[in-house]
Amino acid sequence: MLNFVSEPAMDGYDYIIIGSGSAGSTLAGRLAEKTSLRILLIEAGGSDINLGIIMPGAMGLPLLSNRTNWKLFSDDQPEGIYEPRGRALGGSSSVNGMNWMRGNAQDYDHWSELGVSGWRYQDVLPFFRKAESFEDGASFWRGGTGPISVERSPCENTLFESFLAAGQQAGYAFNPDQNGEKQEGMHRIQRNIGKGRRMNASYAYLRQKSMKNLDIMLHTRVTRLVFSGKTCVAVEATRRGNQYRVPVGREVILSAGALMSPQLLMLSGVGDADELRKQGIKSVVHLPEVGRGLSDHTALVVDWDVINERNSMARELALHRRPMIGAKWLLSRRGLGSSNLFEAGAMLSTDGSGRPDIQLECVAFRPYFGHDAIRVSPGYHCSLSLQRPTSTGRVWLRSADPMASPAFQFNYLTTEYDQKLAVTAIKTVREVMGQSAMASRLRGEAGDIASARSDAEILAWAKATAESNYHPSCTLRMGKVTDSEGRVMGIERVRVVDASIFPAIPSANLNAPVIMLAEKIASDMLQKVG
């Protein structure tokens, strides 16, 4: 039973956690295991008891609603890039695609090369294992008793089977566990779904146990951190027209994500002093790297028309069939309602190093998941993303109004490395799809990509169509803004725990790495509390 409160305890809390996403829910659940601590978890959105959140196959529904999705847009030209962010208990773990990927061991070893201690793969593996209950059970690589159930997708659709076979024909081995000893190869996507329901962080870490020392405030927006000198002493928040100033005893922990955590720091006077002055904000500490280094997995979306449209899942997902899908899920937690739909994928190394630099995530239809509509058409679809892009952007203040959206820009495909990798990625996926196992089922590529043949044409198409893979990170990097435990440099009692503190983006969807991050930092914090 969760302890939802409409007002905070005015004598304050030991820890105030801002944001209830993958990091915030994990932190709150773990810290609350120390019953002597008083904790407040603040979430701007509402409840996660929502059919579109709980039912995996309905994942497009919460993305359509302003109540569960911030629906942010970047300042990249000409129209901005759509960036959905979760606005509910569980944050983006309540609206994401549920692809459970840890990243490559070399990703975390690289963090130590950047000067961040304690984050080598051997250091983080125990916390990946601690978080999960994998369907094969516990092993050296995998966890078997953690709060998050992880299962493999069935990949029973003919197009999925053909795709996995085509990848092997192209020379990419099938990998039975991409979160195990090695990452490279064709695979059945692993997903954080258990007994037919989404395993969002709030369900896994908060709803499965009783924590009387944890208060949760929904529909509450933190507007500023309050400092006495360089020590944070309280947070200011607003809820349904009421203003609150909540004292903090030990720490305020920002877990609002790579776009909103830096925004809140800047609103509170932590950032580039010259830029803050332009907004009329008094500087508490000059940290010019706040908001810099924004990284994301640049996504290139490729669709194919299929020869036999009955092979596509679009027929099963037709509008008139959706009530039956929902009814079957409600009765048995089975069928398409229990699937995240992205079932087949691959992690491929285009340079032969064995460390994948592109990811494929595929559905057996042609989807449109926009901020305004959901559409399903016959075909086959791959979201192809660059795993370690070198193009970076930034986050800044649009205004000093705490209710305004953060301004941000990705700057996709602005480096030579990224441009070459984008072209190579398209050629690689064409090689896979051109193998007999898949080519026999396809009519050809759909859309403008079909006419792009030369490297210059492919790059021009990529620049015009590049999308976000919804993995913003690295805006408050460890070693630049925060230390190796997430504490903000130059001030006291403020810590950040979310994807913003990654020193470099991992080769993975970010839900699992962020939960690992929160598990590890929570463990370190509890050891010091005693």
**Cβ-based neighbours of 6, under 8 Å, separated by 6 or more:** 217, 239
Beta bridge mates, 29:
none
Tokens standing for residue 496: 């950040």
Which SS3 state, helix, strand or coil, does residue 336 take? helix
Report the DSSP pairing between strands 298-306 and 380-386. Answer: antiparallel
Residue that is written with structure tokens 């080769």 in the block:
507
Residue pair 512/100 in contact (Cβ under 8 Å)? The answer is yes
Q: Is 120 exposed, middle or buried (0-12, 13-18, 19+ CB in 10 A)?
A: middle
Q: Which one, of 196, 126, 120, 114, lies nearest residue 154 by Cα?
A: 196
Phi, psi dihedral angles at 114 (to 5 degrees): -85, 5
Position 441: which residue type? R
Quote the radius of gyration of the chain (alpha carbons, Å): 22
Which SS3 state, helix, strand or coil, does residue 497 take? coil
Distance CA 189, CA 101 (A): 9
371 annotated active-site: no
Residue pair 383/360 in contact (Cβ under 8 Å)? The answer is yes
Distance CA 473, CA 259 (A): 8
Instruction: Give one DSSP letter per residue of 376-437, joined into a string.
Output: EESSEEEEEEESS----EEEE-S-S-TTSPPEEE--TT-SHHHHHHHHHHHHHHHHHHTSHH
Phi, psi dihedral angles at 58 (to 5 degrees): -100, 20
**Cβ-based neighbours of 35, under 8 Å, separated by 6 or more:** 212, 213
Q: How far is CA 403 from CA 82, 257, 308, in A?
A: 19, 16, 50
Residue 315: other Cβ atoms inside 10 A: 13
Helix/strand/coil percent split, the chain, to 5: 30, 25, 45
Position 348: which residue type? L
Distance CA 5, CA 40 (A): 10
Q: Is 527 exposed, middle or buried (0-12, 13-18, 19+ CB in 10 A)?
A: exposed
Report the DSSP pairing between strands 374-377 and 366-369. Answer: antiparallel
Distance CA 273, CA 288 (A): 7
Which SS3 state, helix, strand or coil, does residue 267 take? helix
Tokens standing for residue 222: 């933190």
Q: Which stretch of DSSP H or E encloses residue 363?
A: strand 358-363
Query: Residues with catalytic annotation?
Result: 471
